[in-house]
Structure 1
Amino acid sequence: MIHRIWTLLVKELIQIFRVPVLVLMILFGPLTEMSLIAWATAAPIDNLPTAIVNLDRGLASRNLLVALNNTGTFDFRYNLDSTDEATALVERGKVVGVLTIPPAYSERLNSPLGQTPALSFILDGADPIAARTALASMEGVVAAQGQRVLARWVGQDPSVSLIQPRMRVRFNEELKKSIYTVPSELGLILFAIGLMVASISIARERELGTLEQLMVTPVGRFEMIVAKSMPAIILSYISFILMMLVAMYGFGIPMRGSWLLLLGSSSIFLLVEISIGLVISAVASNQIQAMMGALLWVMTEMFFSGYGVPVENMPLILQKLAHIFPIYHFMIIFRGILLKGVGLGVIWPQILAGFAIGAVVIPTAVWFLGRQKWE
């Protein structure tokens, strides 16, 4: 059996390496994509183009603008006299926000009659990430200015507060977005490579006309599963380790847990994913159909991985549905080991879930491959 598996494995590797461009794309294409995403998300969101309509020109309004500029979030590129001009800039996407300071803002702010001035801040919601950042910065500066004015009225030190919050952020002290996005991208790419390499394996044999020849050989279904899976596992792990090294030493992504536990637990889910790829390959008529089926599955898994939207924020029925997808459990394991350094005592429920999913998917793949003998 070992000899038959080895012979079929060598044949699979020869077929793959006959197309060097494909190998380079599998190994370095995902590495390039991950590097670009890490580079793009590692930088903080600052210098957002902003327009100002200052109808006050008083001391308080100037102090407000100085405080906003000191945050580094805003880049006041436009100083306008009309809100109509500013609205047009938002519509054309030239600015993220427009701050309008009304007339008599300084006078009302310092009035002993308790008059409350109103600031208008229009945001471009087409980019919600930048808009949320700008809104949080604006609210913080405005609240600080209001606290200073109120403290001056009551004769209190503005630095004194009834509640002193002491916050501590763990596992991502600087709250970098890349600490979340890069591990998500790594997990998705690991699964995508294994799935796509496996999904074309049988479809390629069918296109070349060698599937019937392969089926009349003494190779059994289990042996074929192993031989067809190994190239996908090898290429997936090579690409995954390369991306991990670049993420760690190039972009400062921490690796706080055990490499052995990470690679061992990922192998469970990778085998499940490759089995899904073999099922897709078994039912596809050609390699194009197989790739389209694999792409559809990857896009579905991306939704349930929590990459774009946290699973906890989804409707309850979708949260329950996410548990049948291997990537949902793997991302919990991956982030836990990578960012938190957790051990087996924490991630064992997800590993058991991987075994449970594999107990359904792998026999299904064996059945589909066995069915090819009778077609």
Structure 2
Amino acid sequence: MRRIFGLIVKELLALFRDKRSRFVVIGPPLIQLIVFGYGATFDVNRIAYVVFDEENSGASRDLLARFEGSRVFRCVGRVHSDEEIVKAIDRKKALLVLHVRRNFSRDLFVSPPARMQAIVDGRNSNTAGILLGYVNQIVLDFNADWLRSHGMRPPPAVLQPRAWFNPNLESRWFIVPGLLGTLTLVVSIMTVGLSVAREREAGTLDQLLVTPMTPLEIVLGKVIPGFLVAMGELTLILLTAILWFRIPFVGNLLALYVGLAFYSLATIGVGLIISSISMTQQQALLGSFFFLSPAIVLSGFSTPIRNMPELVQWLTLLNPLRYALVVTRRVFLEGAGFGEVWPQFLPMVLIAAATLLGAWWVFRRRVG
């Protein structure tokens, strides 16, 4: 144990005494957290739109005022012909054109329904779909108020949507908790993935091998510092998510840490395998990025796993980040505890055992 403890201290000193290593551990994760927290969003805000109001009546102005008063939309002008509509969409001046035809008020009173046209730039299908949902909601609210104010019979059924766990439907509440697992993965892979390769390049690995330490003790001396750094990074990201981004944390803190501890061990094992195979730090860096990209894409961080092809869905079962994201998001938003997230622990434990045993086997073969 004294030999392992000495190697742990050596690894931590080598990591934090070097300015570049300190920056890699602390700087990029925080920068990425800020960038993703503010930049990576599915919310649609301040949508530029133009108005083509052929009637300009009290009813049409009432309807259009609801768009002007919404924080989602931003009126950038008015057009007066179909040709101007084409120019506004083609030149990306506006994503939406609201077209109120003549006789809109007459149709409201005499022969409903009165029709309004919404022309959307469909080049970005995801934004267009979300945008049409907002337009439809404003029109539904207008209909309900119109019926009420004119003493007409309300529609027989009215949809009242309610969102559980994220009542304001802010995508930041979904993205930032996922960054706990994603950024912890990056730090674990990068710090541990370079450790053995750095020793081999510096020539200190041979010095370690002639000491009384066994390959298992050397591996433990590499794993434990990486684990401590990963958990420290996790705590830093967690505090930033709660205190800076104001993401509500309503679950069991211990369940979160236990789940992410198993996850960190699994990712550290992968990093140590990469480092043991690599002859130089450059090779270790390239190997780390080779693992990181598919791991993040196949985790469900940004796209649902159920939307992927069936074969790819089976591959995601080998990805520890998949289970870590479930744990973080359920604990953060759903108030989950051990009873709800323990099924995610078992696959992470199995992956951690496989990767750590694989790291020990690869390291012993490479230095033997």
Same fold, judged at TM 0.5 (above): yes
Q: Which amino acid aligns with 1:98?
A: V
Q: CA deviation at 1:259?
A: 2.3
For 2:245 and 2:54, the matched residues in 1 are separated by 45
Asked if 1:31 is matched to 2:45, the reply is no
Written as runs of structure 1 = structure 2, the 5 A alignment for 1:216-231 is 216-231=210-225
Calculate the aligned-residue CA RMSD, in Å: 2.7
* Amino acid in the other structure paired with 2:152: Q
8 A Cα contact 2:195 2:275, kept in partner: yes
Aligned to 2:52: 53
1:257 and 1:339 in contact (8 A); partners too: yes
Q: AA paired with 1:48?
A: I
Give the drift of 1:152. 8.9
Is 1:119 aligned to 2:121, yes or no?
no
Question: In structure 1, how many angstroms separate the alpha carbons of the residues matched to 2:236 and 2:218?
Answer: 28
On the 8 A contact 2:227/2:264 being kept in 1, the answer is yes
Aligned length: 368
Shift of 1:75: 0.9
| TM-score, with length taken from structure 1 | 0.88
Structure 1: how far apart are the matches of 2:44 and 2:187?
A: 31
Is residue 2:155 matched to residue 1:156?
A: no
Q: Note the 1:1-375 alignment, pairs <5 A.
A: 2-40=1-39, 45-112=44-111, 117=115, 119-126=117-124, 128-129=126-127, 131-146=128-143, 156-158=152-154, 161-163=155-157, 168-374=162-368
Unmatched runs of 5 consecutive residues or more in structure 1: none
Letter matched to residue 373 of structure 1: V
Deviation at 1:43, TM superposition (A): 11
Cα shift readout 1:16-61 (whole Å, capped 9, x = no counterpart):
2232132133113212321343345689643321122223333332
Instruction: Output the CA distance in 2 between the equivalents of 1:223 and 1:163.
Output: 69
**2:297 partner SS:** helix
**CA 121–150 in structure 1, closer or farther in 2 if over 3 Å, else same:** farther
CA distance in 2, matches of 1:87, 1:18: 61
Q: How many Å apart are 1:182 and its aligned residue?
A: 0.4
- Aligned amino acid, residue 21 of structure 1: R
Q: State the 1:116 CA deviation.
A: 5.4
Shift of 1:256: 1.9
Q: Is this contact kept in 2: 1:215–1:372, CA < 8 A? A: no
Q: Deviations over 1:292-313 (max 9, x none)?
A: 2212212212112211101122
Q: Which letter maps to 1:214? A: L
Distance in 2 (CA, whole Å) between partners of 1:116 and 1:258 is: 52
Task: Sort the Cα spacing of 1:328 and 1:53 in 2 relative to 1 into closer, same or farther, 3 A.
Answer: same
Distance across 1 between alignment mates of 2:317 and 2:42: 33
Q: Partner letter of residue 278 of structure 2? A: A
Distance (whole Å) between structure 2 residues aligned to residue 219 and residue 85 of structure 1:
78
Comparing 347-356 and 38-47, the one that deviates more: 38-47
How far apart, in 2, do the equivalents of 1:43 and 1:118 lie? 27
Mark the CA change 1:122 to 1:300 in structure 2 (over 3 Å): closer, same or farther: same
Query: What is the rounded CA distance, in whole Å, between the counterparts of 1:243 and 1:86 in structure 2?
Result: 46
Shift of 1:166: 5.8
**Identity %, equivalent residues:** 27
CA contact (8 A) 1:304 1:322 kept: yes
Residue 87 of structure 1 and its aligned partner are, at CA, apart by 3.2
Query: How has the CA–CA distance of structure 1 residues 194 and 111 changed in structure 2, closer, same or farther, with 3 Å as cutoff?
Result: same
CA distance in 2, matches of 1:74, 1:167: 21
For residue 78 of structure 1, give the secondary structure of its aligned residue in structure 2: strand
Contact 1:199 1:290 in 2 (8 A): yes
What is the deviation of 1:291?
A: 1.4
- CA pair 163-118 structure 1, distance change in 2 beyond 3 A: closer
Change (3 A) 1:137 1:352: same
